[in-house]
């Protein structure tokens, strides 16, 4: 074993789930090594433990895994379970950690960020419950990155990750497993595969765009293999190191070809896509896009149609910027509904404690208590199970949902890669005006509340501050402004806009038109465009 002397570096920021940077930064001497050692120093019980390791297949995945194996062995880890060829989707890692009672897992991914040598890479630690490490752990990792002065590596050759089975390196066993098998078996327990099979046999058509990222092998095995969907249902199904140049963020801009297909003349019955690491999903019907916030509400209202949720839900949760469509369903079902900060880790305690069964975020993440990560393919399968039971089109199901609960018009405007100090300036100036804003009327909208979102975890009492600015209006409309924690260039400002429309006659409106007044007011009072020098958002979803 070699002990290498190193110097501290600007590690992961406190509060974020992992380290996400440009590949070239990870290629700098000692950079990845420092972070991996910081994890091993921070996590209790590493010696003699079992860990799960894998990633979304992006550039640098294999190099990073070989290093992690050698460092794990040098740090006394007993057993590492790795996906064949180093591949694992994020939800599959969560599942294997739980199933094999591992101490935790290391996931290599930058999720929806672009890949390739000039793209992004990332690494994060998940705990024994299968979920992203809590802030109490990530804060210790962060402190370690600032003080670290040595790391440990075993001198050994690379392990052949293409072959299933066990290999010893030093005193540590590396077990290479099929990354799909356990995950596929888990989904079979939750959903009625026979019903979904019958749906496909009846001629139901679907397009699943894996965006050349990790869900390809999972979707192909489950949809085309186990459920009998025709070959070709899954497109872009091969995980590529640079995602074939695609930007694996399933939104109207980066998944444009799927949107064009589904909103065009030859649309199949159902369309779906997921992101780089397989934890997000979007779904579309013929001529109908289901906004992720609406999807969470619809899944909550219909989950009982799938065997895994037939006994009903204990409660639901959504991240703060997610639209409040799901709140109305929870009220109708008389179940609890929680509002948490952005990021999946905040759902962990509620799921572990059985307070919620389903949860989701506006950024196309939905999941349940089956694992502790959001799960793209799971959401698609739940949709398929619901469609197989209801035998109605996605568009009809959506329209009926709005008729019953009203429609929450919702949109997110991202200003990517803006100057970091300008972004901070926008936030600080708006915050300084809270008192004077409340009671002010703009056009027909009166501001009734302005605050920085703070969350107290109902289970362990931990407090997360400064989770985004919320401006509420008397009409029930609101907007939210926060700085992204996952961007790797400058800062990304996210502006979330929402209005509620009870009148069925107005449900067919274009979303941006419906939100026009709120968009104009947000522009005016945040001063975002003049401070950042941008005249339009980079992405509207």
Instruction: Provide the annotated active-site residues.
Output: 111
Binding mask 365-384 for ligand VG1 (x = CB under 6 A): x-------------------
Residue 65: CB partners within 8 Å, gap ≥ 6? 53, 54, 55, 82, 86, 108, 161
Structure tokens at 33: 């090594």
From the list ligand VG1, Co ion, none, partner contacted by residue 342 (C-beta under 5 to 8 A by kind)? ligand VG1
Among 279, 369, 457, 498, binds ligand VG1 (CB under 6 A): 279
Q: What is the dihedral of CA 405, 497, 365, 242, to 10 degrees?
A: 150
Q: Which is nearer to Co ion, 89 or 385 (CB)?
A: 89
443: left (phi over 0), alpha (psi -120 to 50) or beta: left
Q: Return the range that interacts with ligand VG1 (CB under 6 A); candidates 150-158, 305-313, 340-348, 393-401.
A: 340-348
Among 368, 486, 488, 526, binds ligand VG1 (CB under 6 A): 486
Binding mask 440-479 for ligand VG1 (x = CB under 6 A): ----------------------------------------
Q: Which is nearer to Co ion, 112 or 328 (CB)?
A: 112
Phi, psi of 150 (to 5 degrees): -155, 155
Among 193, 289, 338, 344, binds ligand VG1 (CB under 6 A): 344
Minimum CB separation from Co ion for residue 361, in Å?
A: 11
Q: Tell me, by CB under 5 A, how many residues bind Co ion.
A: 5
CA angle 376, 378, 384 (to 5 degrees): 110
Structure tokens at 185: 């078996």
Minimum CB separation from ligand VG1 for residue 185, in Å?
A: 24
Minimum CB separation from ligand VG1 for residue 90, in Å?
A: 6
Q: Is 490 in the site for ligand VG1 (CB under 6 A)?
A: no
Among 6, 188, 399, 484, binds ligand VG1 (CB under 6 A): 484
> Rg of the Cα trace of the chain?
23
Binding mask 80-119 for ligand VG1 (x = CB under 6 A): -------------------------------xx-------
Query: Considering only residues 312-331, where is the footprint of ligand VG1 by CB under 6 A?
Result: 319
Q: Which is nearer to Co ion, 131 or 315 (CB)?
A: 131
Tell me the DSSP string of 126-167. E-TTSSBPPHHHHHHHHHHHHH--EEEE---PPP-TTS-EEE
Query: Considering only residues 240-299, where is the footprint of Co ion by CB under 5 A?
Result: 275, 277, 279-280
Nearest to 245 by CA among 112, 56, 116, 57: 116
Burial of 384 (C-beta count, 10 Å sphere; 0-12/13-18/19+): buried
From the list Co ion, ligand VG1, none, partner contacted by residue 343 (C-beta under 5 to 8 A by kind)? ligand VG1
Among 75, 274, 342, 467, binds ligand VG1 (CB under 6 A): 342
Q: Tell me, by CB under 6 A, how many residues bind ligand VG1.
A: 16
Q: Are 371 and 94 in contact (CB under 8 A)?
A: yes
496: left (phi over 0), alpha (psi -120 to 50) or beta: beta
Nearest to 467 by CA among 431, 413, 432: 431
Q: Return the range that interacts with Co ion (CB under 5 A); candidates 105-113, 138-146, 254-262, 493-501.
A: 105-113
Q: Which is nearer to ligand VG1, 71 or 296 (CB)?
A: 296
Phi, psi of 54 (to 5 degrees): 180, 170
Residue 529 CA: distances (Å) to CA of 54, 128, 438, 473, 526: 41, 44, 22, 22, 8
Q: Which is nearer to ligand VG1, 43 or 495 (CB)?
A: 495
Q: Which is nearer to Co ion, 278 or 537 (CB)?
A: 278
Q: Return the range that interacts with ligand VG1 (CB under 6 A); candidates 179-187, 232-240, 428-436, 481-489.
A: 481-489
Structure tokens at 184: 């596929």
Q: Which residue has the tokens 């502006």?
A: 495
Among 318, 328, 478, 494, binds ligand VG1 (CB under 6 A): 494
- Return the half-sphere exposure (C-beta side, CA atoms, 13 A cut-off) of residue 22: 8
Distance of alpha carbon 24 from alpha carbon 39, whole angstroms:
21
Residue 181: CB partners within 8 Å, gap ≥ 6? none
Q: Return the range that interacts with ligand VG1 (CB under 6 A); candidates 338-346, 352-360, 452-460, 469-477.
A: 338-346
Q: Return the range that interacts with Co ion (CB under 5 A); candidates 52-60, 104-112, 168-176, 345-353.
A: 104-112
Minimum CB separation from ligand VG1 for residue 204, in Å?
A: 28
Structure tokens at 450: 């302005």
Give residue number: closest CB to ligand VG1: 111
**Site for ligand VG1, rule CB under 6 A:** 111-112, 275, 279-280, 319, 342-344, 361, 363, 365, 484-486, 494
């Amino acid at each position: 074993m070699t002990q290498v002397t190193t110097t501290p570096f600007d590690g992961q920021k406190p509060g974020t789930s992992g380290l996400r940077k440009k590949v070239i930064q990870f290629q700098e001497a000692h950079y990845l090594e420092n972070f991996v050692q910081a994890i091993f120093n921070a996590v209790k019980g590493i010696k003699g433990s079992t860990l799960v390791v894998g990633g979304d297949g992006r550039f640098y995945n294999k190099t990073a895994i070989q290093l992690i194996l050698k460092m794990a062995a040098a740090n006394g880890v007993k057993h590492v379970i790795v996906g064949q060829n180093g591949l694992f989707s994020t939800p599959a890692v969560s599942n294997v950690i739980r199933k094999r009672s591992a101490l935790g897992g290391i996931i290599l991914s930058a999720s929806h960020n672009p890949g390739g040598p000039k793209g992004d890479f990332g690494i994060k630690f998940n705990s024994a419950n299968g979920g992203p490490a809590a802030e109490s752990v990530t804060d210790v990792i962060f402190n370690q990155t600032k003080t670290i002065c040595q790391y440990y590596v075993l001198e050994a050759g690379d392990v052949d990750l293409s072959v299933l089975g066990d290999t010893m390196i030093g005193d540590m066993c590396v077990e290479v497993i099929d990354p799909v098998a356990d995950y596929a078996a888990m989904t079979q327990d939750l959903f009625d595969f026979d019903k979904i099979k019958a749906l496909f046999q009846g001629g139901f058509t679907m397009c699943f765009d894996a965006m050349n990222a990790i869900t390809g092998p999972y979707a192909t095995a489950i949809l085309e293999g186990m459920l009998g969907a025709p070959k070709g249902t899954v497109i872009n199904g091969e995980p590529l190191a640079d995602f074939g140049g695609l930007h694996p963020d399933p939104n109207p801009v980066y998944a444009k070809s799927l949107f064009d297909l589904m909103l065009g003349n030859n649309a199949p019955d159902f369309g779906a896509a997921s992101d780089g690491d397989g934890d997000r999903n979007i779904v579309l019907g013929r001529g109908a896009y289901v906004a992720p916030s609406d999807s969470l509400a619809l899944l909550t209202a219909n989950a009982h149609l799938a065997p895994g949720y037939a006994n009903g839900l204990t409660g639901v949760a959504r991240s703060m910027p997610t639209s409040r469509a799901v709140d109305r369903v929870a009220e109708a079902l008389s179940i609890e509904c929680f509002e948490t900060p952005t990021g999946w880790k905040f759902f962990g305690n509620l799921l572990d404690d059985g307070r919620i069964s389903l949860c989701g975020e506006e950024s196309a993440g939905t999941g349940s208590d089956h694992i502790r990560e959001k799960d793209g393919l799971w959401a698609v399968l739940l949709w398929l199970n619901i469609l197989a039971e209801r035998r109605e089109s996605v568009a009809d199901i959506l329209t009926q949902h709005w008729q019953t609960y009203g429609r929450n018009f919702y949109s997110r405007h991202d200003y990517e890669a803006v100057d970091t100090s300008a972004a901070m300036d926008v936030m600080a100036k708006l915050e300084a005006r809270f008192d004077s804003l409340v009671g002010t009327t703009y056009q027909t909208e009166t501001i009734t509340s302005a605050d920085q979102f703070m969350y107290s975890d109902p289970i362990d009492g931990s407090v997360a501050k400064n989770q985004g600015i919320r401006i509420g209006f008397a009409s029930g409309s609101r907007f939210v402004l926060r700085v992204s924690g996952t961007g790797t260039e400058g800062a990304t400002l996210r502006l979330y806009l929402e209005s509620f429309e009870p009148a069925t006659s107005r449900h067919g409106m274009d979303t941006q038109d419906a939100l026009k007044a709120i968009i104009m007011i947000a522009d005016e009072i945040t001063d975002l465009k003049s401070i950042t020098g941008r005249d339009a958002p980079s992405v509207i979803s």
